[in-house]
Amino acid sequence: MSVIDEVKQRTDIVEAVGQYTSLTKSGRTFRGLCPFHSEKRPSFFVYPDQQSWHCFGACNTGGDVFSFIMKKENLDFGEALRLLANRAGVTLSPRSEQETKGRERLHQANQAAAQYFHDLLLHSPAAKKARKYLVDRGLLPKTIGDFQLGFSPNSWEGLKQHLMERGFTENELLTAGLVVEGEGGKTHDRFRNHLMFPINDTRGRTTGFGARVLDDSLPKYINSPQTPLFDKSGTLYGINLAQSATRQQDLAIIVEGYMDAITAHQNGFQNVVASMGTSVTEKQVNAVKKLTKNAALALDADTAGEEAMLRSVGYENILGTEVRIILLPAGKDPDEVIKENVELWQELVAGALPVIDYTFDTVTAKLDLATARDKSLAADKLLPIINEIKDPLRKAHYRLKFAQLSNISEQDVEAALSRIKPDRRAKETRPQAVARAAQPILSSPVEEYCLALLLQHPELKAECQNLSPEYFESSQNREIFATCQQADDWSSLKERLDAAIHEHLDSLMSKNLPATQLNRRWAECTLRLQETYLRRLEARKKEVLALEAQTGGPAAELAKLEEQGIGTSIQLREVQTQKSQMRSGVKGGRNGLE
Ligand SMILES: [Zn+2]
């Protein structure tokens, strides 16, 4: 997660805005007098669920907590970020030019280390055992090269000396996690006598290492520590090699171990990444989401139940689609299954069950749903899971499935579900509720696609008149777009943007986009962006209108709001017409956005 997302997630927008105007709760929203224009009746709303605000009065504008503070305190983005970070207790490490250079040095040190380990594995007599291990595991030379596997010698200073001879400082090696400080402050190599797995980011740059012992000693695996480049919980092993196949097949398969991923790739299953021995994390799911909306977890039958129940729905909500479970034969990992029987692996992948169906199966397998006791046991386990599903259609699907399985009317299931809500919500503390609400806005594919197009094709700047920064929900995206609008060309873009945004800018600049039909793709994605924004605005206006009608607001205010409401509807209809014209204009020309 970027520091900007973290600040946003840790900031309670109701509290932040509440320091400038007094807000009263009104349904799911908060309402108050607009702090930006003078008014007698409150037309200013804060939406904690979406972490945003909107003034339906004279301003007729809105945004998130960053844009609020920027406007109210007259700050630029970086200043507002610093102020809010300070309040939220988030330490900002401004990525100055110097720091960017520092990170680059760390990448280079890791890269040089990977090369050093790899050369030793291929040629050093000391690596004989490591080579034998890989041959025994069935790895081909090409695979060993693709994954740049390596060997760390049983020496205290082999790597350290090698890298220091090449100009890296001891401090850089410490920061990169390649050496550790021992007793008396003397440093030595972290990895000794290990089989080395370089871990790369999506751009193929080595950020850290996994390492396996070559005997029976424990621990079997160690990793690089957390460094400025390496965050294990957000990293997927093999993602650099898996990304294009994952995009093509529109599916990511997540396995646990390094060897599982490597064996899968060697056998032609290139959309496989590994969570590196731990349970899949939300950060990892977010990384997958950049490539595809479809994920399948390969799980051992023994552990799958727990895992599935605990995490599935959260992942599905992040991805906005269903997560599937590839159920492995008990006690087998993907490495073994693939080696023994490629067809079986393919069958298992094809037969992967949506995680909630799988949970239904495991829960009900042990129960007799003809009895009242087991019906309520099943309800206790399954209804809270169904209740968490955000997508209304899928929620309805599983509500019906539960009703049919347990032979209870849908109304009764619905009633039972509605009884769960207040109880579960009450248990949530406020920060958690904020964190949860903030999840879906962390990454927006359409926004990022639009921006990436614009950044990579500056000529599109002329086509930006219809776009407003407000259409971008993500703070970083909005700031980048607003800065693009002000800049004449992109050469000064980076200088104009706060250092905290540079990484995001870089990733958009280097996004892999198809090269054809530029204008059409641009038109499509900007229309979608507008449509999403207008829809949201219209829904909010309807809410405000309903509220005004209930509380007997003055007719004039109502009329003004209605006028605006109609304005939005007309715009929305225009956008939809343009979209459908586009669709009928070019046959079969979807751009792969959906
Ligand atoms: Zn206002």
Residue pLDDT tens, the chain, 594 long: 678 888 888 888 998 999 899 999 888 889 999 999 888 888 899 999 888 999 988 888 899 999 999 888 877 888 889 889 888 888 876 556 667 788 889 999 999 999 999 999 999 999 999 999 999 999 999 999 999 999 999 999 999 999 999 999 999 999 999 999 888 889 999 999 999 999 999 888 999 999 999 998 888 999 998 888 888 878 999 999 999 999 999 999 999 899 999 999 999 999 999 998 677 877 788 788 878 889 999 877 666 555 556 567 778 877 877 789 898 888 889 999 999 999 999 999 999 988 889 888 888 888 899 999 999 999 988 898 888 888 888 899 999 999 999 999 999 999 888 887 543 433 333 333 333 333 333 457 888 889 999 999 888 888 888 788 889 988 889 999 999 988 878 887 888 888 888 888 988 888 888 778 888 889 888 998 998 888 888 888 888 888 777 766 656 666 676 676 667 777 888 888 888 887 776 544 444 443
330 CB neighbour count, 10 Å cutoff: 10
Q: How far is the CA of 55 from the centre of ligand 1 (A)?
A: 5
Gap from CA of 538 to ligand 1 centroid (Å) = 17
Taking the centre of ligand 1 as the mean of its atom positions, its distance from the CA of residue 73, in whole angstroms, is: 15
For residue 43, report the distance from its CA to the centre of ligand 1, in Å.
7
How far away, in angstroms, is 52 Cα from ligand 1 center?
14
Distance 57 CA to ligand 1 centre (A): 5
What's the rounded Cα separation, in Å, for the pair 319 and 594? Answer: 13
Rounded to the nearest angstrom, the distance between the alpha carbon of 91 and the centre of ligand 1 is 32
Ligand 1 centre to CA of 33 (Å) is 8
**Distance, CA 29 to ligand 1 centroid (Å)?**
16
Residue with token string 């002329």 = 462
**pLDDT recorded at residue 205:** 92
- pTM, full prediction: 0.58
Sheet holding 44-47, edge to edge: 24-26, 29-32, 44-47, 52-55, 61-64
Measure 44 CA to ligand 1 centroid, in angstroms: 6
Residue 122 neighbours by CB distance under 10 Å: 15
Q: For residue 83, what pLDDT is reported?
A: 86
Calpha distance 70→571 (Å, rounded) = 28
Please list the residues that pair with 298 across neighbouring strands.
326
How far does residue 438's CA lie from ligand 1's centre (Å)? 24
Between the CA of 67 and the centroid of ligand 1 the distance, in Å, is 14
Dist. CA 531 → ligand 1 center (Å) = 23
Q: What is the CA(3)–ligand 1 centre distance, in A?
A: 29
Token pair, residue 185, equals 């402050």
d(CA 310, CA 24): 36
Q: Where are the beta strands (DSSP E) in 4-106?
A: 24-26, 29-32, 44-47, 52-55, 61-64
Q: Give the integer Cα–Cα distance in Å for 321 and 302.
A: 25
The CA 451 to ligand 1 mean position distance, Å, reads 28
Ligand 1 centre and the CA of 86: distance in Å? 27
According to the model, what pLDDT value does residue 252 have? Answer: 96
Q: Where are the alpha helices (DSSP H) in 341-461?
A: 342-350, 355-365, 372-388, 392-406, 410-427, 430-438, 445-456
Cα(541) to ligand 1 centroid in Å equals 14
What is the whole-number distance in angstroms between the Cα of residue 54 and the centre of ligand 1?
Answer: 8
Q: What is the CA(36)–ligand 1 centre distance, in A?
A: 5
The rounded distance, in Å, linking the Cα atoms of 313 and 395 is 11
Q: Pseudo-torsion of CA 75, 81, 82, 85, nearest 10°? A: 140
The pLDDT value given to residue 176: 94
Q: Residue 180 pairs with which residues in a beta bridge?
A: 188
Question: How many Å apart are CA 99 and CA 504, to the nearest integer?
Answer: 16
| pLDDT of amino acid 289 | 82
CA of 20 to the centre of ligand 1 (A): 13
Ligand 1 center to residue 318 CA distance, Å?
33
Type of residue numbered 66: F
Q: Three-state DSSP class for 179?
A: strand
